[in-house]
């Protein structure tokens, strides 16, 4: 049966969009592969009234609530590809029948690619972090490292300095320019040149940043700006316009979260420069509203 909308990605943005469409009594299918971006962290912070809950717990509760709406269908799996035009989209999922819908809502999130340093990946979301607003408070001050990965890393280090005594490890990136050096000095950020060769367990709850030159430093946490990529190629294959941001490419959308392709909406981290649970959820609400309004007013038959 043709759906009013298919949502690709049942994370914070996708499920928020689903509430809007479900409550408008629209037929909505949510396809989700169950890998929200924050799955590496045991707890989420900073979302209204949800502080300290795990991301998975929040999403599971939302799914339970959504499942009570009779027009909502969940499909577990990965949307491989999609084709079609407004009012007649088809989404393929490995090993399952294609699903048809009048609108598509892309909410598949971003993939974080981390620098290839032994000991880094297994600490991601625990003591290797990207957002001080999400996890900086729990560090409790003390020595903190920032690993340079892009030209904005000096800025990141100067922000993280509000949460502890920060050292910026340049790790082969070009030395900060004079303006960045002045900022680091003003924010009392230390600078360590040289390649980072490994991250190891230090004394107590500390971890050790080992440099190739033989020096090492103990820190409570290490902040990294990961290389972020839109998950999957569905937006690209449809020719959705992209936008370059300091965080990488995102899908360009208008105020109603419509992409450049008629009938396709995008929400959450894939469609905004700075992402967190609250912003992704708000984005999903807007995309849900946009898709619903378009079903009522833009289509040939409503
Ligand atoms: C380590 C870490 C910790 C974080 N901690 C916090 C925090 O404490 N507080 C906070 O506010 N923010 C936090 N964030 C940010 C937050 O996780 C993201 O902003 C948020 O998850 C974005 O929501 P989203 O719905 O856009 O994408 P996601 O939550 O990533 O959801 C996308 C969903 O789409 C699915 N998917 C992807 N491709 C497909 C496909 N082709 N077919 C079907 N399904 C697909 C994925 O499996 C996933 O379930 C953290 C991020 C990280 C990396």
* Residue 19: partners with Cβ closer than 8 Å, 6 or more residues away: 62, 65, 66, 285, 288
How many Å lie between the centroid of ligand 1 and the Cα of residue 217? 31
Kindly report the pTM of this predicted structure. Answer: 0.96
Mutation pick for ligand 1 pocket among 37, 105, 139, 281 (CB with most ligand atoms within 8 Å): 37
Ligand 1 atom having least distance to the Cα of 125: 1
Nearest CA to ligand 1 atom 21: 37
Ligand 1 atom having least distance to the Cα of 231: 38
Nearest CA to ligand 1 atom 52: 38
Residue 248 pLDDT: 87
170 Ramachandran zone, left/alpha/beta (phi>0; psi -120 to 50): alpha
pLDDT tens for the 302 residues of the chain, in order: 899 999 999 999 999 999 999 999 999 999 999 999 999 999 999 999 999 999 999 999 999 999 999 999 999 999 999 999 999 999 999 889 999 999 999 999 999 999 999 999 999 999 999 999 999 999 999 999 999 999 899 999 999 999 999 999 999 999 899 999 999 999 999 999 999 999 999 999 999 999 999 999 999 999 999 999 999 999 999 999 999 987 789 999 999 999 999 999 999 999 999 899 999 999 999 999 999 999 999 854 44
Q: How far is CA 57 from the centre of its chain?
A: 17
How many Å lie between the centroid of ligand 1 and the Cα of residue 95? 24
**Which one, of 255, 279, 254, lies nearest residue 110 by Cα?**
279
Range list of H helices, 140-250: 153-160, 178-186, 234-238
- Order of all β-strands in the sheet with 190-192: 128-129, 221-224, 143-147, 165-169, 190-192
How many Å lie between the centroid of ligand 1 and the Cα of residue 273? 14
Nearest CA to ligand 1 atom 31: 11
Residue 247 pLDDT: 73
- Domains, the chain, with CATH or none: 3-112+227-297 (3.50.50.60), 115-224 (3.50.50.60)
Residue 301 pLDDT: 43
Ligand 1 atom having least distance to the Cα of 109: 27
**Which one, of 252, 291, 293, 301, lies nearest residue 29 by Cα?**
291
Residue 302 pLDDT: 40
How many Å lie between the centroid of ligand 1 and the Cα of residue 115? 20
Nearest CA to ligand 1 atom 45: 9
How many Å lie between the centroid of ligand 1 and the Cα of residue 108? 8
Q: Which residues pair with 72 in a beta bridge?
A: 28
The whole-angstrom separation of Cα 147 and Cα 114 is 11
- C-alpha distances in angstroms, 257 versus 207, 234, 288? 41, 16, 9
How many Å lie between the centroid of ligand 1 and the Cα of residue 163? 24
Residue 299 pLDDT: 52
φ/ψ (deg, to 5) at 280: -65, -40
The whole-angstrom separation of Cα 172 and Cα 293 is 50
Mutation pick for ligand 1 pocket among 8, 9, 59 (CB with most ligand atoms within 8 Å): 9
The CB of 108 under 6 Å from ligand 1? The reply is yes
Q: Give the SS3 label for residue 4.
A: strand
């Amino acid at each position: 049966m043709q759906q009013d909308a298919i949502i690709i990605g049942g994370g914070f943005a996708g499920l928020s969009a689903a509430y809007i469409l479900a409550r408008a009594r629209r037929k909505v299918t949510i396809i989700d592969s169950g890998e929200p971006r924050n799955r590496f962290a045991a707890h989420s912070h900073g979302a209204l009234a949800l502080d300290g809950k795990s991301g998975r717990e929040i999403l599971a509760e939302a799914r339970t609530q959504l499942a009570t709406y009779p027009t909502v269908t969940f499909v577990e799996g990965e949307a491989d590809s999609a084709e079609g035009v407004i009012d007649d989209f088809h989404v393929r999922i490995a090993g399952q029948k294609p699903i048809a819908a009048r609108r598509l809502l892309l909410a598949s999130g971003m993939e974080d690619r981390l620098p290839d340093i032994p000991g880094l990946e297994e600490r991601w979301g625990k003591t290797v972090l990207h957002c001080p607003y999400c996890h900086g408070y729990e560090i409790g001050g003390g020595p903190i490292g920032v690993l340079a990965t892009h030209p904005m890393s000096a800025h990141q280090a100067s922000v993280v300095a509000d949460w502890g005594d920060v050292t910026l490890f340049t790790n082969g990136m070009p030395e900060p320019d004079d303006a960045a050096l002045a900022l680091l000095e003003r924010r009392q950020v230390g600078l360590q040149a040289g390649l980072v060769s490994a991250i190891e367990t230090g004394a107590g709850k500390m971890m050790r940043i080992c440099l190739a030159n033989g020096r090492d430093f103990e820190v409570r946490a290490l902040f990294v700006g990961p290389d972020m990529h839109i998950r999957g190629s569905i937006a690209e294959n449809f020719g959705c316009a992209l936008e370059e941001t300091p965080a990488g490419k995102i899908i360009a959308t208008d105020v109603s979260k419509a992409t450049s392709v008629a009938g396709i909406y995008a929400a959450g981290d894939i469609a905004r420069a700075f992402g967190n649970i609250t912003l992704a959820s708000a984005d999903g609400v807007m995309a849900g509203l946009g898709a619903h309004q378009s079903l009522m007013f833009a289509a040939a038959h409503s």
